[in-house]
Amino acid sequence: MPKKSNPKTRTEFKKNYQQRRRNSDLTRKFQQDSLDEGDLAAGERVSGKGEMSRHRTVVGHSLDSTADFDAARDENLLCGRVLRIYGLQCVVHGDNDIEYRCAVRQVLKSISTDQRHVLAAGDIVDFRPEGADQGIIISIHPRRGELARTSKGRRHVLVSNVDQVIIVASAAEPDIKPHLIDRFLVTAEQASLEPLIVINKIDLVDPTEFQPLLGVYAQMGYRTLLTSAARNWGIDTLRAIVRNRQSVVAGQSGVGKSSLLNAIQDGLGLRVQPVSSENHKGRHTTTTAELLPLNEGGYLIDTPGIRQFELWDVIAEEVAGLFRDLRPYVSHCRFPDCTHIHEIDCAVLEAVADGRIDPRRYNSYVHLIEDPAASF
């Protein structure tokens, strides 16, 4: 049987990935040597192809949004999962249960992509060990279950390879931001992630104040949970929900994400800080996304607090279809390109007027359309 060849593909690299070195001695060489027309290339072309091309034929395959090169398999390669990223290096937990501090292969960093960073916490990678605890990442496996946002016009992948997003908000200090919760829910719908809405610090207020809000989410099929990391309320339920699951914990700064994780599993020792007494906003305590394996199975990814969440790869016409409560009405509008904001005979506006859609949820939709890059 003939040997199966590795697939090849033309992949675009960043500008000036491989520059041709300029010869600065052309004049001196012309003055010293005579010009022999026989030495000139007969069929020379002046074109952007060849050495200076931004495209290369590489072994392996290139996926949309994920660089993945299946390098020639050798016995020294190990497979592992990215735990956290520090600048140009990252920590990888290998299949041999050893942690390696790895650099990224230059060809992966040079691929032209729309991402801020070629790697994200949770990525599955192949790497070559270098010494006892060092390594070089050779390839990145195709991703699933990405949580991403837009940052400075590029895609910022917060985490990858998860199946559940735990959206944490606080009942007080800082105050709850329903618009931010709704943006996370829209992203979860787009990425096919199962969401869980957690209202933390419930010991600071009367829990009955949040029943109407939670009731709206529950009617749409979203799971909700009231917790208090300080009083250990709801922790056993949350621990059971994350067991044997791949979950990411997301929310604004100061809502108690790290405190909840410390309560779920003893010994994590994640750093926590109180909210600012000046502006009542959380401080950025967690600085990078970090994958935390759970003793009872599965893992959690703690993420830095978010104060701005702009959707990635979602146009305005698609937003209504990602709102569960608006979705049943969008196809009944008079105009097929209805924005559901000012048009006549709009089924969505009629549903809001009749009380079939919660007005606050509709305001979140309008807020997202009119101010996609809002800060919270």
What domains lie within the chain, and their CATH numbers?
78-140 (2.40.50.140), 147-302 (3.40.50.300), 316-370 (1.10.40.50)
Q: What is the pLDDT of residue 28?
A: 62
Q: What is the reported pTM?
A: 0.80
CA distance 321 to 329: 9
* Chain position carrying tokens 């034929």: 57
* Number of other residues whose CB lies within 10 A of the CB of residue 97: 7
Element (H, E) at 262: helix 257-264
Could you tell me the CA-to-CA distances from 114 to 67, 152, 351 in Å, in that order?
11, 11, 38
Q: Residue 300 belongs to what H/E stretch?
A: strand 299-302
Helices 178-191, 359-370: crossing angle, 10 deg rounding: 80
Q: What is the per-residue pLDDT for 305?
A: 85
pLDDT lower than 70: segments of the chain? 1-74, 112, 273-286
Helix (H, G, I), strand (E, B) or coil at 238: helix
DSSP 311-356: -SS--HHHHGGGSTTTGGGGGGSSSTT--SSS-TT-HHHHHHHTTS
Percent of the chain past pLDDT 70, that is, above it, reads: 76
* Alpha carbon distances (Å) from 337 to 152, 195, 316: 28, 29, 10
